[in-house]
Structure 1
Amino acid sequence: MIQFALKCDQGHSFDSWFQSAAAYDKLRAAGHVACAVCGSAEVEKALMAPRVNHGDTAAAKPAPLSEPAADPAQQALAALKAHVEQNTDYVGRNFTTEARKMHSGDAPERAIWGEAKPEEAKALIDDGIQIAPLPFVPTRKTN
């Protein structure tokens, strides 16, 4: 496996793993490599530094890296997550039950989010209940 730093024609940078350099070339030529942010198929390898192991890797400590500038896509995702967490009710594993109650009129409508198994989500959609997946997981509180 090999990891490549990639960049699309819109300037978005992202990483992806490939079975080999030849596999990347084959997938790109077939139009199967797309930007993780905007979906553009105009993707090129970006400048990257190779990983080199020096001697005993168990004893070696990686040097601390400076914080890179935040990626616009990561900033947008963080803003979306903050908006959802501040403006909706998290119902956890009760998402399916709460969505059905609101749909049937047994509970007042409100903005909710939570967790559902894929088959539960599909059943909601099949029953005409509008839902959408969120591109993040809930912030867990740890003890």
Structure 2
Amino acid sequence: MIRYSLKCENDHSFDSWFASVEAFEKLHAAGMVACAVCGSAHVQKALMTPSVRSARKFAAGHEPEPDQAANGASAPTKSENAAHPLSKPQNAAEELFDAMRRTVEENSDYVGGDFAAEARAMHAGEKPERSIHGEAPLSEAKALLEEGIPVTPLPILSKRKRN
């Protein structure tokens, strides 16, 4: 496993684990690596510091895996995983964001890329009104607003697109 520090076009920084350098490159090339904050797929590796063993770990015999040491990454220990599981919010801001995401997902229907069409159909009275969330290009979201259709951009990725 290798951990990369990543940064999106909106200057959000986040870390993500990958099976290998090749796995990162393949996922990145396919546009499947997205910002954990805003969902942007325009992500690049951020400047990283190499993983350095402390004298205490060296004395205790904790050797990093050779390929991890070469890549400047180290795997978390079991105690580090227990203290900071990747699937759990790490601070108050992440907890609030996670609660907002859960509330939206539990109280609205996910319509995916059909968001703009569904919103227009509901606004025109062709479909019953309900709370929906989904995906739309920025230009389409602006067009909805210009048409008087109330929409709000949310920094939420579909479950399929989450890292």
TM over 0.5: yes
Structure 2: gaps spanning 5 or more residues: 6-11, 14-47, 53-65
Runs of 4+ in structure 1 displaced over 6 angstroms?
none
Match of 1:140, SS state, is helix
Task: Report which structure shows greater RCO (CA 8 Å, sep ≥6).
Answer: 2
Report 1:48-63 matches (<5 A): 51-52=49-50, 58-60=67-69, 62-63=74-75
Q: Distance in 1 between matches of 2:75 and 2:95?
A: 26
Identity %: 42
Q: Normalized against structure 1, the TM-score is what?
A: 0.56
Q: Deviations over 1:2-46 (max 9, x none)?
A: x9xxxxxxxxxxx86xxxxxxxxxxxxxxxxxxxxxxxxxxxxxx
Counterpart position of 1:127: 147
2:94 aligned with 1:77, yes or no? no
Structure 1: gaps spanning 5 or more residues: 4-14, 17-49
Counterpart position of 1:138: 158
Specify whether residues 95 and 58 from structure 1 end up closer, same or farther in structure 2 by C-alpha distance, changes over 3 A only. same
- Count of residue pairs the alignment pairs up: 96
Which of residues 94, 97, 109 in structure 1 aligns to 2:117? 97
More helix by share: 2
Counterpart position of 1:64: 76
Q: Distance in 2 between matches of 1:117 and 1:102?
A: 19
Q: Distance in 1 between matches of 2:146 and 2:111?
A: 21
Deviation (angstroms), 1:52: 4.0
